[in-house]
Structure 1
Amino acid sequence: MLMHKDLRRSACWQLTIGAALVALALFLLFPGTAEAHAVLLRSDPSQDALLRTAPTEVRLWFSEDLNPALSSAVVVNSHNQRVDTGNAHVSSRDPTELDLGLKANLPPDVYVVVWRSVSNVDGHVLRGSFLFTIAEPNGTVPHLNASAPPPGQDLLGGGNTSSLYTGQIDAVGLFNLVAVTLSELGAIFWVGAQLWRFFVLEAVPTGEGSDHSETEAIVQAMPSRFIHRFAVPTLLALLVANLGVLVGQALFLSNGQWSGALAPSLLLSMVTSSRFGTFWLGREAIILLALAVAFYQLLARRHPAPFERACAWLNLLLGLALFGTMTLSSHAAAVSSNLFLFSVLIDWLHLLGSAFWIGGMFYIVTCYLPLLEQHAPPLRAQSLTTVLPYYSPWAIAGVLLLTITGPFSASFHLTSPAELITTAYGRALLIKIVLVAALLATSAFHVLLLRPRLKKEYGKYAYCLEHLEQSQTNPTAQQTEKASEEPETGIQQRRWARQLKLREKRLTRLTTRLTTVLRWEPLLGVGVLICVGLMNIFAGTLAPTTAQNQTAPTASSTATPKPLTTSATTSDGLFTVTLTVSPNRFGTNTFTVKVSDRQTQRPVTQVGVTLYLNMLDMDMGTEVLNLQPAADGSFSAQGDLTMSGNWSARVQIRTLDNKLHEMQVKFFTPF
């Protein structure tokens, strides 16, 4: 029996090391980046195009496959009148291309293309717009009326559902955060319970030859406790949470309107017209099947042993399949085809590591510690020092998987280390890293300090108990023959009894301390999963939400448009950056940046400058401008401010040593 257990533990460690090596190899060999949403890459006509003849159609190309039923585009003129033919559709040749016909013979004017992309992979929504202009026959270039409302701003569900883009939690973002967090938490807890049964409880020595009958009873009671108290509620919560994930996506499509988000036609279209919907249905089907098994185990009075074990294996396979469907409908699947398999595998391993570590901690709190409380402290100590060592290898495996796969997953979404600070997604990731580090420190504290002390103290307690029992069970005949030794025997018994009482007090104190740590430790796991939810919400365009060293002025919406000039230092304090926006009004503007050394005040020209523009009042996406050097030492490019209101500008400077330096400002653009 012991040899069999040793072989099993050796196999567990081999599997752990193998998984870690595979994940590490993938991390080193297949780095890459991917967009978290279907981002507009190019268009025809292109952004800010000046045309001599009217086009007959608009074609847009995105970074991901589009949901053909929900992705759309419209075109309006400067008077906010639609000029498209209403036939926006995803190309049958290219699932990343969206085409839209235009009315014949469009007159000279400024036209606004408003688009909405819905990712076919994860269902996330992105909106944006750009301008093109048809010139007069004599070459005159039409302009937008600065005093008129911006055309196209209310089309395709436009509005202030901005959590994906501004990093500020609104009602829609909060709903999505709750749904995603509960979905992750429920799945990790349920799968963690199945892993505990097969990889921990079955490894604990039981049966003949075991001296721990009380521990054996606790081990046998844990699966029953989970089935009768937690299996059905967890799966029901998981079912509802996944429905909430779908409704949360619908809220972005309906501009936060519940009546529109709950419309059966919209929900049906979401689950039948995209890969996200297919795998979402797969999630719900797996959960319903697991619920059927859980209800059978809960209601059936007697469970034949072979059938009960078959149910346990079925639950484990369903849990692993659930992780698969979650991965295939997440950001991990939104990569190029040559990285798809590796990205999905890494994300699946990340979930598996979470189930081993965080899910295992929840199982300890809900199914193990309550059973321990029914016993005296010595029996608690005996059980803790017997059972937990069989969980430690798998907890370490979970830590390794999270540690290795986490940075790999982040590399798909972050384009530079600076985005860890400058973006809402990056800051949520940083907080997650801090919480994981706190979890590691807490786990190390009780694994390397508390548990060895408890085991040592329990050994002393068992030694005292053994000698006290021996002194109390001396044969009566011997005591009669050696009556003169009777007082000495009584003194030894009292001495051992005092020692035993002292050891029991210490054992009680250490046991209480360890169970307290184990009981509160999962709260850090909840914090990690909340960060995962925040990263899911803020992944849209990795837009900055705050600015440092802001000096940008504000103005009312009725102010006369005039060029804006503002200066600020980079976050590392090395450069002073002056940004000029001219004429700073709705439509096409010229963005000029001058860079100077903060110490010498001399202009710096041997650098690359990129400007990231983000609308803070509405989810218009992020416009990226690569500024070109000018003769006067400045850098400039033209770009669109697609509506009036509050904007955020992030200036990124790349020096010759390939280091990035950033400055952020906020500014107001009037009509």
Structure 2
Amino acid sequence: MRVMTKSALRLLAVPLAVLGLLFGTAAPASAHAALVGSDPAQGSVVKTAPAQVRLTFSEGVLLSRDAIRVLGPDGERAETGDANDAGRGNTTAAVALRPGLGNGTYTVAWKAVSADSHPVAGAFTFSIGAPSKTSVALPTQEVGGGAVGTLYDIARYAAYLGFALLIGAAFFIGVCWPDGARTRPMRRLVATGWATMVAATILLLMLRAPYANGGTLGDAFDLGGVRDVLDTRPGAALLSRLLLLAAGAVFIAVLFGSWAKREDPVERQDLAWGLAIGGTVVSVGLAATWAMAEHASVGIQASVAMPVDIVHLLAMAVWLGGLTALLAALWGGHRVERATVRRFSRIAFGAVVTLVVTGVYQSWRQLGSWDALVSTGYGQLLLVKVGLVILLVELAWLSRRWTARLGETAVRGRAAAVAQPVAAGRKGAGGGGGDASERAGQLARQEAALAKERARKERDGDAERTGLRKSVLAEVAVAVVVLAVTTLLTGTQPGRAAEEGAAQQASAPVSEVPEPLDVRIPFDTGGTDGKGEAEVTMDPGGIAENELHLLVTAPDGRAFDVPEVQISFTLKSKKIGPIPVTLGKVDTGHWSAANVQIPVPGEWTIAVTVRTSDIDQVTRTKVVKIGS
């Protein structure tokens, strides 16, 4: 184990050193669009109503008709018309506002599809004149979430799994084990990969519209939505994948048909060249359907990142799909020569090196800093994947050790055991007559069953092959988890974009709707019935137009009238005030005033003067925060 650990670390040391160098010189970029600016700005207060709301994103976005909604304080729609691209490479979007909007706090809810095909959404507020109470809660967009999001992620995982099985198993047969084309497990494995990809791609096409727009499962059957999806880059990628899978069906038919049945070496070699060219075109094309529509297609160095992503996906499929094919062959007791296993072992090693190098480059593009490894969800998932890959490398070295110890004795013994029932069947068939023929067939079946049992015992008795089967099984089990983490990574906002979005939120002013002010000020004028309490309430309690109420109550809680009551506000820190407020009598012990303006936020001193008789009067004060 110490040797394997050192080997794994040597394998990862150089790329990790390159990763450190790259992170140290990283330039700003992103994938997954992040809102980096708006006009009006988030939390701002503007004096007059703007003509439109404009949003600026970190990358190009696709907009639906209701991509930007603006809701007034009363919850009514304030925008007019649909959201539209405002230029600069689809990185800005705008929607016009109705003329004559009143003062108050407005809520902007937006949703879009980023250039890497993932939906993003958010909301913020701005105010006209001054902040106010609003009946609108900041919406939590369900784009990419809920039951639709869960099914979409399952379909994406199934597509990756199908791709690995289809490409990896076909590669294993064509390059490492040509005789496997004549076995049922290999045919089933490749066919399962193809069928899984087809089903997953169709499901992704159906779910794409509700996934991006926050719809329901019922919307998946809306043909209009599917038609709209086909006009987008993710839709075009999925459609291209289906067309390539149709070509892949022809490849599979030839691989397990004409090529597998060819006996003439020259004809088989000629057909193999055609399969190699066709298979390469289909494989690269299928990998490109991810590269052209996901993280690799946006951000810095996209022209380099997309080919690197294609190579990364193909290396993943060759390794993980080939492992599954090898496991199926070993577990099924088929004759897999030592040369086959060693050939795949060398190819798998090259695939691992390729995965590490291309993965380091992708990590640099998506993270940009060491801090993003622990401070963002993408970085944390990436750390999990790195740990799993290191475990896979350890298991791969264990498999290589078992491969080096493989012998040929068990293989020859199994071949002889398989040959015995055939000879026995031929011998028994020469007796002539119906009974003799039936008896010969029965004996042949018995011999075949005995030979199968002997082969199983020999297989289980071969310590090297048993160890190899177990280590490969462990590799496949970990690989399944790696694919699941990879699926989550491709749907998670990369670290660069997450940090850009966090920086935008941190730099934006925060303007919350103030809480209503409620202050109780006890008083005692010293005369008869001179004790009581003055309760001052002010709604909304900010620097906008407020409605003020003052209620005078006796110690037993009942309201009572006094000859005179006054109230004023003073901001001592800025030497503003006192600002008197003219009160009007409403009811017994109840006075009020409308349109009370507080000039600036701060710690204001409220002074309440109560007169209970011609000579009994007192002024009491209390300091409260208003508008901040």
TM-score by length of 2: 0.62
> Which residue number corresponds to residue 112 of structure 1?
107
**Offset at residue 126 of structure 1 (A):** 0.9
Check whether the contact 1:72–1:88 (CA below 8 A) recurs between aligned residues: yes
- 1:38 matched to 2:27? The reply is no
Q: Write out aligned runs for 1:27-426 (5 A).
A: 31-32=26-27, 34-69=29-64, 72-91=67-86, 94-119=89-114, 121-135=115-129, 141-145=130-134, 148-150=135-137, 153=139, 159-160=141-142, 171-201=147-177, 219-222=178-181, 225=184, 228-255=187-214, 257-272=216-231, 274-295=232-253, 305=268, 306-307=270-271, 309-336=273-300, 339-366=301-328, 368-369=329-330, 373-374=333-334, 383=337, 385-426=338-379
> Which residue number corresponds to residue 468 of structure 2?
514
Check whether the contact 2:19–2:361 (CA below 8 A) recurs between aligned residues: no
Q: Write out aligned runs for 1:479-558 (5 A).
A: 508-539=462-493
The amino acid that maps onto 1:230 is L
When structure 1 is superposed on structure 2, of 48-57 and 525-534 the one drifting more is 48-57
Q: Distance in 2 between matches of 1:123 and 1:86?
A: 25
**Offset at residue 399 of structure 1 (A):** 0.8
Give ranges in structure 2 of 5+ residues lacking alignment. Answer: 1-10, 417-457, 500-514, 518-539, 544-628
Change in 2 beyond 3 A, CA 1:543/1:56? closer
Q: How many equivalent pairs are there?
A: 443
Check whether the contact 2:148–2:216 (CA below 8 A) recurs between aligned residues: no
SS of the aligned residue for 2:340 comes to helix
Q: Distance in 2 between matches of 1:227 and 1:411?
A: 38
Task: Map Cα deviations across residues 489-540 of structure 1 (whole Å, 9 max, x no partner).
Answer: xxxxxxxxxxxxxxx8997122222222223321111110000112223337
Q: Distance in 2 between matches of 1:142 and 1:96?
A: 29
Check whether the contact 1:194–1:312 (CA below 8 A) recurs between aligned residues: no
Check whether the contact 1:420–1:430 (CA below 8 A) recurs between aligned residues: yes
The amino acid that maps onto 1:131 is T
Check whether the contact 2:162–2:195 (CA below 8 A) recurs between aligned residues: no
Change in 2 beyond 3 A, CA 1:350/1:54? same
> Which residue number corresponds to residue 453 of structure 1?
405
Check whether the contact 2:171–2:318 (CA below 8 A) recurs between aligned residues: yes
Q: Distance in 2 between matches of 1:307 and 1:540?
A: 44
Q: Which residue, out of 378, 384, 405, partners 1:431?
A: 384
TM-score by length of 1: 0.59
Change in 2 beyond 3 A, CA 1:39/1:393? same
Q: Distance in 2 between matches of 1:524 and 1:586?
A: 59
Q: Distance in 2 between matches of 1:267 and 1:200?
A: 41
**Offset at residue 587 of structure 1 (A):** 12
Q: Distance in 2 between matches of 1:196 and 1:374?
A: 15
Check whether the contact 2:122–2:141 (CA below 8 A) recurs between aligned residues: no
CA-based RMSD of the aligned residues comes to 3.9
**Offset at residue 458 of structure 1 (A):** 5.7
Q: Distance in 1 between matches of 2:33 and 2:220?
A: 21
**Offset at residue 227 of structure 1 (A):** 6.6
**Offset at residue 224 of structure 1 (A):** 5.7
**Offset at residue 114 of structure 1 (A):** 1.2
> Which residue number corresponds to residue 606 of structure 1?
none
Q: Distance in 2 between matches of 1:142 and 1:68?
A: 29
Check whether the contact 2:144–2:214 (CA below 8 A) recurs between aligned residues: no
Task: Map Cα deviations across residues 194-239 of structure 1 (whole Å, 9 max, x no partner).
Answer: 43345434xxxxxxxxxxxxxxxxx423466477323333212101
SS of the aligned residue for 2:49 comes to coil
Q: Distance in 1 between matches of 2:541 and 2:350?
A: 54
Give ranges in structure 1 of 5+ residues lacking alignment. Answer: 1-16, 136-140, 164-169, 202-218, 466-503, 545-559, 563-584, 589-671
Check whether the contact 2:166–2:191 (CA below 8 A) recurs between aligned residues: no
Check whether the contact 1:65–1:95 (CA below 8 A) recurs between aligned residues: yes
The amino acid that maps onto 2:241 is R
SS of the aligned residue for 1:133 comes to strand
**Offset at residue 331 of structure 1 (A):** 1.0
Q: Distance in 1 between matches of 2:327 and 2:109?
A: 51
Task: Map Cα deviations across residues 249-268 of structure 1 (whole Å, 9 max, x no partner).
Answer: 43333535111233221222
